[in-house]
Amino acid sequence: PSGYNLWLPYSKISESPVLKEYTDITKTISLPGASQTLQIARTELNRALKKMLGAPPSVATSLRADPTLLIGTKDLLPPELQKMVNDDLSRAGDEGFVIKSVKHRKKKILLISANGDIGILYGVFRFLNLMQQHQSFVKISLVDYPKIDLRMLNHWDNLDRTIERGYAGFSLWNWQKLPEFIDQRYIDYARANASIGINAVSLTNVNANALILTPMYLEKVKALADVFRPYGIKVYLTARFSAPIEIGTLKTADPLDPNVKQWWADKADQIYSLIPDFGGFLVKANSEGQPGPQNYGRNHVDGANMLAESLRPHGGNVIWRAFVYSEHDADDRAKQAYTEFVPYDGKFMDNVLVQTKNGPIDFQPREPFHPMFGAMPKTPLMMEFQITQEYLGFSTHLVFLPKLYEEVLDADTYQQGEGSTVARIIDGTLQNQKISGMAGVSNVGNDMNWTGHPMAQANWYGFGRLAWDPYLSSETIAEEWLRMTFSNQEAFIGPMKEMLIKSREAVVNYMNPLGLHHIFDTGHHYGPGPWVSELSRPEWNPTYYHNADAKGIGFDRTPSGSNATEQYAEPLRSRLNDPDTCPERYLLWFHHLSWDYRLKNGKTLWQGMALKYQEGVDQVEEMIATWKQMQPYVDQVRHKEVQMLLQIQLKEAKWWRDACLLYFQTFSKKDLPEGVGKPTRTLEHFKSLKFPFAPGIRPQWN
Ligand code: BDP
C-alpha cells in the first residue's frame, strides 16, 4: 500500500548516466560473512538493487577475486585494503562505516567497510540511501559514525494496544499473538529503524503498567528482542516503580528497603536470562501521579540508583525522566525540573541517564531549550523530543519537526562559554560524558503508512538522522527524505523542501506565536482553549500560561516575575530578561507586556500577534498551492491524502486564529488590524466545541 515502504521505496532508476554508473559498480558484489546482520544486509542489497536497477544482482557470500563492490568488515579484507581503511575505521568505532572508492589490483572498486557487522548494515543502508538520491560514488570517501550512543524511540504504547498521544492507529505490538506469531511488521519496523541508525526502543508507555514485567509478558518481549537484535536494536521497558507491590508480594516499593532492592535484582536476573542484551529501564516517577521514591520520603537519586544497581551486573541502563512538576509547588512549572534535579548532579550511578524534554514545559510548538541542558555537567543528560504531534495538530497537520529539533540542538546554552550548544551537551563532547542519548516519542502505529499523515514519516526519519548526527541541518534532512521517498526531480525538490522547512513556523504562527504556549484545549491538546481556567491544578490551565488581562499578556519569567531566567547562563540570561534583546519568538514566554508594546517591526503587540496568526493561515494556503503543483511527482493516493489533510489544516489554522484572537480581544479591546481575516463564528461557538473523537488521550482525562 501507498507509503508502507517509507523512505525505502527503491524506485526504478531510469536516468541513463546514473543507471550506468550504478550498474557498473554493482556488477560483481562480495559481501562475505554469515551472521544474521550480514544476511540482512545482503537481502536488503538484493531487494534494493533489483528494484532500482531492474536486474537481480549477484551478491556473493565469499570474497570474490575481482569484485566491483566489496562489502566487508575490516578483518575480512585483504591486507592491502585493510591498510587503506585503517585510519578511517579507527575513527568509525563500533557502529560506524566507511564508503570509499579505491584502487585495488589496478582496478577501481567501491569498498564499504566497518569494524563490526552492524557497521556494515549501516553502511549498506547509507549506500542505498545515496543511490536513492542518485549521488555519484566516483570520488566518494565517506567515513560516518553515530555521534550519540543511544538513539532511541520511546513508544507510549499501552498493553491494550492503545497509544497515549498516538495518532496513527494502535500499537504495533500484538501481545495476544506474541511470542509465537511474529508479525512481518516487527521486521519491517526494525529494518526502517536500522536504515537510519536507531538502536534502542522502549516498548511501553511511561505511564507504566507493571504487568509488562511479569514472566508471561517477558516471554513476548523476548520474542520482539530476538527480532530486533540483528538490526542492532536493544529493547528497553518502562518500569513502574510500585511493581514490587503490584506484581510481587511486597508491601512497599521503598528504594532503600533491602527486600525491594532484592526484588528488582531478581527481576533483572530474570529479564536478562531471557534477553541477554536487554537495554534497561525507562522510568517516569513522581510525575503526574506515577509512583516513585518520593512516596517513601526518598528522592530521585535513591530511586534511580537502586534500579541502576540491579541492572549494573548485566550492563543495563536506567533512563530516569526529569519531566516533573508538582501540584504542591506553587512555583512556575517551567522551573521545577531544574530546581529538583540540578542539585543531584554527580550523584547518579554511571549507568543512569537523565532524560529531559527539549523545553521546560511540554512539547509545545516552540519552547526555549530546557535550562537543565549544560547545568548538570556530571550527569549524562538525554534529550527527549516528541515525534508524535501531541501539541502540533496530531497526524492531521503537516509539520516538519527536524526544523524544531535543529533549533533546540543548535541553541547556545553558554554554560561553558560561547558555543556550548545543546548538541554538544547531548552528544557528551562538551562535558565529557561516558554515555550519551537522544530519545523521540514515536509517531508510529499500525496505520498502513505507519504515521497517519504521509508526510509525518519525515519526522521519524529526521529524528533518526539527528540522533545519529545532531549537527545535520534540517534542510539536508528534508532533501534526503524527499528524494528517497518521492522523486529526484528538481522541480519537486526545490518547492517541497521550502514547504517542509516553513511548515514548522506556520504551525507556531497559527497556534502559539510570539512565545505563547500551552493554550490548548483540555486533555486532548488538539484545538485552542486559551479560555480554560478551571482545571484542578493551576498549571494545567491555559490562563496560567498566557496571563492575559486588560493591560497585556505573557508570563513574566524575569526577576520581577518567576525569575525562571535565572536558570539560564549569562549572557543569555540578561538577554532574555530584557524584552528588547529577548528574541521575539520567546517574547511572551519570558515577559508580560502591554498590548501597546512596540515590536521590532513597529507594530503593537496586539497588531503583531494578530498578524502572526494570519501569517500562519497564509502559510497553510501557500502549502496547499505548492502541493497542487506536485501532482506529477507523487502517486495519486498520497497526493490526494495530503491534499485533503491540508484542507483540514487550513480550516483548523483559521479556527486557531479566530478562537484565540476573539478571546484575547476581550482583554485588549482593540480591533483586528487590516489584513487579518474576520472571524465568521463567535467566541461562544468556539468555546462550545467538543472533541470526543480525539485519539490517544490518557484514560483518566476522559
Ligand atoms: C505530556 C502528555 C502526557 C504524558 C506526559 C509525559 O500530555 O500524556 O504522559 O507528557 O511525558 O506531554 O510523561
Please indicate, yes or no, whether residues 201 and 220 belong to a single structural domain of this protein. yes
Residue ending a domain, among 95, 111, 144, is 144
Residue ending a domain, among 430, 457, 477, is 477
> By three-state DSSP, how is residue 151 classified?
strand
> By three-state DSSP, how is residue 239 classified?
coil
Q: What is the pLDDT of residue 701?
A: 45
657 contacts 617 by C-beta, under 8 angstroms: yes
**What mean pLDDT value characterizes the chain?**
97
What is the 578 CA–ligand 1 centroid distance (Å)?
32
What does the alpha-carbon distance between residue 139 and residue 101 come to, in Å, rounded to a whole number? 6
Catalytic residue list contains 635: no
Alpha-carbon distances, residue 274 vs 58, 259, 315 (angstroms): 37, 23, 15
Q: How many CB atoms lie within 10 A of CB 24?
A: 13
Please indicate, yes or no, whether residues 631 and 536 belong to a single structural domain of this protein. yes
Q: Is 341 part of any domain? A: yes
pLDDT band at 594 (very low <50, low <70, confident <90, very high): very high
Catalytic residue list contains 384: no
Nearest atom within ligand 1 for CA of residue 363: 12
pLDDT score of 316 more than 50: yes
Please indicate, yes or no, whether residues 648 and 540 belong to a single structural domain of this protein. yes
Give the percent of the chain with pLDDT over 90.
94
Q: Is 179 part of any domain? A: yes
Please indicate, yes or no, whether residues 87 and 215 belong to a single structural domain of this protein. no
Please indicate, yes or no, whether residues 134 and 156 belong to a single structural domain of this protein. no
User: Amino acid identity, residue 149?
Assistant: D
Instruction: Determine if ligand 1 sits within 6 Å of the CB of residue 523.
Output: no
Residue 547: give its domain's CATH number.
3.90.1330.10
Ligand 1 atom 10 nearest Cα: 362
Q: Is 566 part of any domain? A: no
Provide mean pLDDT across the span 296-301.
Answer: 98
Please indicate, yes or no, whether residues 139 and 157 belong to a single structural domain of this protein. no
Residue with cell 516499593: 253
Catalytic residue list contains 362: yes
Ligand 1 atom 9 nearest Cα: 207
Mutate to test the pocket of ligand 1, among 240, 241, 288 (most ligand atoms within 8 A of CB): 288
Please indicate, yes or no, whether residues 224 and 128 belong to a single structural domain of this protein. no
pLDDT band at 361 (very low <50, low <70, confident <90, very high): very high
Residue ending a domain, among 98, 123, 144, is 144
Q: What is the pLDDT of residue 256?
A: 98
Alpha-carbon distances, residue 198 vs 100, 190, 485, 695 (angstroms): 23, 9, 19, 26
User: Over the stretch 77-116, which tens digit does the pLDDT of each residue have?
Assistant: 999 999 999 999 999 999 999 999 999 889 999 999 999 9
Nearest atom within ligand 1 for CA of residue 206: 13
Cell of 535: 482545571
Instruction: Determine if ligand 1 sits within 6 Å of the CB of residue 367.
Output: no
pLDDT score of 189 more than 90: yes
Q: Is 661 part of any domain? A: yes
pLDDT score of 178 more than 60: yes
Instruction: Determine if ligand 1 sits within 6 Å of the CB of residue 254.
Output: no
User: Over the stretch 18-49, which tens digit does the pLDDT of each residue have?
Assistant: 999 999 999 999 999 999 999 999 999 999 99
Nearest atom within ligand 1 for CA of residue 207: 9
What does the alpha-carbon distance between residue 507 and residue 616 come to, in Å, rounded to a whole number? 6
Please indicate, yes or no, whether residues 98 and 214 belong to a single structural domain of this protein. no
What does the alpha-carbon distance between residue 250 and residue 244 come to, in Å, rounded to a whole number? 6
Q: What is the pLDDT of residue 1?
A: 60
pLDDT score of 634 more than 50: yes
Instruction: Determine if ligand 1 sits within 6 Å of the CB of residue 397.
Output: no
Provide mean pLDDT across the span 656-684.
Answer: 98
Q: Is 600 part of any domain? A: yes
Q: How many residues does the chain have?
A: 702
User: Over the stretch 335-358, which tens digit does the pLDDT of each residue have?
Assistant: 999 999 999 999 999 999 999 999
Domain span at 645: 508-555+592-701
Residue 24: give its domain's CATH number.
3.30.379.10
Please indicate, yes or no, whether residues 65 and 193 belong to a single structural domain of this protein. no
Provide mean pLDDT across the span 518-542.
Answer: 93
Please indicate, yes or no, whether residues 154 and 73 belong to a single structural domain of this protein. no
Residue 307: give its domain's CATH number.
3.20.20.80
Give the chain's largest Cα–Cα span: 82
Q: Is 569 part of any domain? A: no
Instruction: Determine if ligand 1 sits within 6 Å of the CB of residue 362.
Output: yes
Please indicate, yes or no, whether residues 395 and 264 belong to a single structural domain of this protein. yes
Nearest atom within ligand 1 for CA of residue 525: 7
For residues 653, 655, 657 and 663, what is the CA-based torsion angle, rounded to 10 degrees?
-160
Predicted-complex ipTM score: 0.99
Counting the structural domains of the chain, the total is 3
Q: Is 103 part of any domain? A: yes
Provide mean pLDDT across the span 122-151.
Answer: 98
Please indicate, yes or no, whether residues 664 and 618 belong to a single structural domain of this protein. yes
Q: What is the pLDDT of residue 702?
A: 34
User: Over the stretch 434-455, which tens digit does the pLDDT of each residue have?
Assistant: 999 999 999 999 999 999 999 9
Instruction: Determine if ligand 1 sits within 6 Å of the CB of residue 284.
Output: yes
What does the alpha-carbon distance between residue 165 and residue 174 come to, in Å, rounded to a whole number? 18
Instruction: Determine if ligand 1 sits within 6 Å of the CB of residue 497.
Output: no
pLDDT band at 599 (very low <50, low <70, confident <90, very high): very high
Q: Is 231 part of any domain? A: yes
